[in-house]
Chain A
């Protein structure tokens, strides 16, 4: 007698555990577990739930070395800026040596976030002697000439007094007197001293405030300033706030430039989830109906183990914290096909063994023994392909490879182990007659043997 009880317990435990991992009907974060409405806790890709994904690449300029360390530092700066914006659950990742992936799930208007994260935000206080520069004037890359807003180029070397690196704080403020938005900043340590020294020395001269080589304002120095001041520049409220965020977060150690951006609006994202879910349900029901109609009781048992398979794949997926994307969905569908295939292969062999006149038990043993070889070979070839993609791929290709790999592994388990346990259980429960119907035999196989 086989230990059916144990096997059924294992399958049920597996299904329950998987269900818990995916849908979390029981919350376990406190010391006392609590019920909550079950919901799929899968991390959905931006193509499914909506949001923005931006890939930034560090710009290689002569004299500036791009290292992973610098890119990591840039990533931290960007992270601070995003935090200051208050965007929910941003995701930052370094890709390769010189790229940063930034994802904002469910962000409505990425425009502002985009402008913030891509800015180098190098703030410089430049000594321009007796020359005032208009807002928008720009230093050319050689740092010796300035292009004025009207297109005229004048020669003016950039003498930097102090940079934003020494800033301790920056806040947006509304000035009641001028009725304008401005940014109040404060220097710390070395920067404060330099700032104070310079302003003390150069009263009556202009101190031009420059952000990313572009002039913000060019005020005249009226008195020695003890490490604190304001930037005026006829800002709007948002502009002032964003500038304060940029200055607080500091400059990027390397300039970055967006090389890829994908935005899926919330409407389309919601639509995709709904449709995918519906398509998924319909697909599942159609497959179960077909398999059961064709293979009868074993087909139904296969459907049961396919349900375990589906839960298992989703649980592996949720457990690994992987993100489900549209190509990932394709991988799932393909692996569903492979999972069904595993069962079909075995049932066809079972049928042959029964027709050859074997007893049900012998046929089950032989069917699975022969099926195992086929399933292993066909699935290992698929896994080899998926492994190559995992190694090579990024983004969509990787998503496909991950779900395909998990799906194939889980499908081997369900076809080889779970379905067999269920079929053997039914055989011992006296359902042999029903099982043998798979072979369309008019007689009971036990009698025939």
Chain B
């Protein structure tokens, strides 16, 4: 097999990763300019009431429903049609039970008979709590994982590299959700958690390979060693990614509209989790290690590939 020099060309990996991060940030940043919030927050986070109705007459339009709701004074209502099934969803501020009864009555009288498919009614306090739990969970989880990885790999560099890769993954998922306007609800929290789980897991498998090769105590320079390790772990990374995607893909295709956004998030999680181990974590590990070695004055391991770059980075950090 031809041995690709991935780590020697790591500037391209950085460039690609930086491009992904930049695109994600741009995807989020342009949303306010388009007159909408960065993410399509669901009622789980904002609080509010979301009712999905299935009319007997599937051709009912959002305009008809809007007209029926107009006189009720329930504030700004977002009315959408689920194209696949013809169901209509109505999203309003958090409604009191009495207000909801009036809403259902008005729609039944003025539009037509329907069955209630689902109701999500969330008070504003609950939304805040969910957000706090999500942030705290990701933060505490990250911190503990840094500790564990640092202990097991006897170096904080592995943990830092893994976490930067994870941040890259989280940003990409946020960017995809901003762009596709997929609903950010509590299952989005599960997506974020999957990103954390899968991304770290995948990076650890690659790093484990590095550790294994380091223990063989070959005189191979670190850069080449990491490169070899990444390539050796590649088949596994691809196979595992593929099988997981097979599972998620069938959920995406056959799981129905309720889980589609969720499956999309998981797909992105697996793809980016696999990519970032190779494209972010490994190059970072190389650079951090090379930098540490240079600082320790071990000129013997000086990489020959990019002396100019190395000098630049030294100046930058001094």
Contact = CB atoms under 8 A, between A and B. Distances in A.
Contact of B121 (A118, A262, A275, A278): A262
A385 B197 contact: yes
Interface stretch (A17-25, A28-36, A220-228, A396-404): A396-404
A52 B119 CA distance: 9
Nearest to A52: B119
Interface in A313-329: 326-327, 329
A268 B258 contact: yes
Nearest to A328: B190
B132 to A, nearest CB: 9
A374 B242 CA distance: 19
B126 A55 contact: yes
A89 to B, nearest CB: 20
A388 B249 CA distance: 28
Which of A259, A290, A330 has the most CB atoms of chain B within a 10 A radius of its CB? A330
B136 interface: yes
A397 B193 contact: yes
A382 B197 contact: yes
B250 A286 contact: yes
A57 to B, nearest CB: 8
B115 A265 contact: yes
Contacts of B266: 330, 333-334
Contact of A265 (B118, B120, B137): B118
Interface stretch (A58-66, A170-178, A248-256, A335-343): A335-343
Given A263-B116, A278-B254, A279-B255, A330 B262 contact: yes
Interface residues of A, number: 69
Nearest to A389: B137
Interface residues of B, number: 68
B201 A327 contact: no
Nearest to B198: A334
A331 B190 CA distance: 8
A333 B117 CA distance: 26
A6 interface: no
B246 A286 contact: yes
Which of A287, A326, A348, A380 has the most CB atoms of chain B within a 10 A radius of its CB? A348
Nearest to A374: B208
Interface string A286-313: 1100110010000000000000000000
Interface string A397-413: 10011001000000000
Interface string A244-283: 0000000000000011111111011001100110110011
Contacts of B190: 327, 330-331, 396-397, 400
Contact of A344 (B119, B193, B239, B250): B239
B197 A283 contact: no
Those 3 A-B pairs whose CB atoms lie nearest each other, nearest first: A337-B244, A259-B123, A263-B119
Given A111-B97, A389-B137, 20 more contacts: A111-B101, A118-B97, A262-B120, A262-B121, A271-B256, A272-B259, A275-B256, A331-B190, A341-B236, A348-B233, A377-B204, A379-B201, A388-B144, A392-B136, A395-B186, A396-B189, A397-B137, A397-B189, A397-B190, A404-B197
Interface of B: 52, 54, 97, 101, 115-123, 125-126, 133-134, 136-137, 140-141, 144-145, 148-149, 152, 186-187, 189-191, 193-194, 196-198, 200-202, 204-205, 208-209, 212, 232-233, 235-236, 239-240, 242-244, 246-251, 253-256, 258-259, 262, 266, 270
22 contacts: A111-B97, A258-B123, A259-B122, A259-B125, A260-B123, A265-B116, A268-B117, A268-B258, A275-B255, A279-B251, A287-B246, A290-B246, A327-B187, A330-B190, A330-B266, A338-B201, A340-B240, A348-B239, A374-B209, A396-B187, A397-B186, A397-B193
Interface of A: 52, 55, 57, 111, 114-115, 118, 258-265, 267-268, 271-272, 275-276, 278-279, 282-283, 286-287, 290-291, 294, 326-327, 329-331, 333-334, 336-338, 340-341, 344-345, 348, 352, 370, 373-374, 377-382, 384-386, 388-389, 392-397, 400-401, 404
